[in-house]
Structure 1
Amino acid sequence: MEVFFYIVPSIMIAMVLAGIAAIVRKALRINQAWNGPTAEGRCLRMFTTTSGGSSVTTTLHHVYEFTTHDGRAVRFEEENGPATVLEGDITTVWYVPDRPERATAQAPARGRLMAGTGCALMFLGAFAAALVAFMVQFSLHF
């Protein structure tokens, strides 16, 4: 029965580490795009998705299309874009030349990206530390 108090927190720590990796990957992807060239893009579609049960969360999605400097047409979808961008609007797109499908239409805001990423990492790190402390306390008392 005691093994239950090690397995469940370990699984939760693994999920926290996966979340940390996803947050860091997304921040690096956006930062790489901001360092790349820009192109004129068009918003092709705008839609929302909802998730959750008693507490519903709505996410705004945009589908953009642009042409790279070497003439390739690229279409990508981005979550949580500005609600002021509507279908048919022209916007600036930042992209990585090697992987233009990893483009972003979010205007560069490195400080905001760092602050948001840092806060999320601190929260998840504190949660993981609390789980480790729980497991240590459990092993010392039982």
Structure 2
Amino acid sequence: MDALFYVIPVLVIVVLLFAAVAVVRRARAANSAWNSGLTAEARCLRTYTTTSGGGDTSVRTRLNHVYEFRTREGRTVRFEERGGSGTILEGDIVTVYYTADHPERATAQPPAPGKLLAGTGLALAFFAVFIAFCIGFIVVTHEAFSTAGDFMSP
């Protein structure tokens, strides 16, 4: 039973580390697309919303777009982007930024490196606080179990 006090915080730490890696990868992909110098005109093929929550929690709605563009090499690329602008509708033409290596990781978000850095930094700080809490919980729990064992020995 004591192992549960170690296993659960370690699992939380692992999940938070995976989330941190995902946040950094997403930020690097957007930054690479903006800095590549490659742009194309893309058509918005579809817009749709996804919702989550409900019941006892607030409902969250997210706008998604599906874009299609042609690279300089003539390859047609279709990609989906979450959280786009509400002013972009089906049939609209937008500028997308992409890299030659991975055009499917394109973004229609206009370059905003400061906003990207701030958002990534806040997310990583949030994860770090919870990881520190989990590590502190493990240390305190370990000390509590080890001192409890001293009282129980004859």
- Tell me whether the two structures share a fold, i.e. TM-score over 0.5: yes
Task: Please name the residue that 1:56 is paired with.
Answer: 59
Task: Please name the residue that 2:5 is paired with.
Answer: 5
Is 1:129 matched with 2:154? no
Task: Please name the residue that 1:14 is paired with.
Answer: 14
Amino acid at match of 1:89: D
Is 1:98 matched with 2:109? no
Q: How many pairs does the alignment contain?
A: 142
Aligned with 2:68 (options 65, 80, 90): 65
SS at match of 2:104: strand
Task: Please name the residue that 1:113 is paired with.
Answer: 116
Report Cα offsets for 1:78-116 as digits up to 9, x if no partner.
Answer: 000000111111110000111111100000000000000
TM-score scaled to structure 2, two decimals?
A: 0.90
User: Offset at 1:61?
Assistant: 0.4
Report Cα offsets for 1:12-68 as digits up to 9, x if no partner.
Answer: 111101110110110011111111200111111100011224332211100011111
**Which blocks of at least 5 consecutive residues in structure 1 are unaligned?**
none
Amino acid at match of 1:140: E
Higher-Rg member (1/2): 2
2-side partners of 1:98 and 1:4: how far apart?
45
1-side partners of 2:142 and 2:104: how far apart?
48
Amino acid at match of 2:35: N
TM-score scaled to structure 1, two decimals?
A: 0.97
Percent identity, aligned pairs only?
Answer: 55
2-side partners of 1:68 and 1:49: how far apart?
29
Aligned with 1:75 (options 63, 75, 78): 78
Amino acid at match of 2:94: T
Q: Please report the RMSD computed on the Cα atoms of aligned residues, expressed in angstroms.
A: 0.8
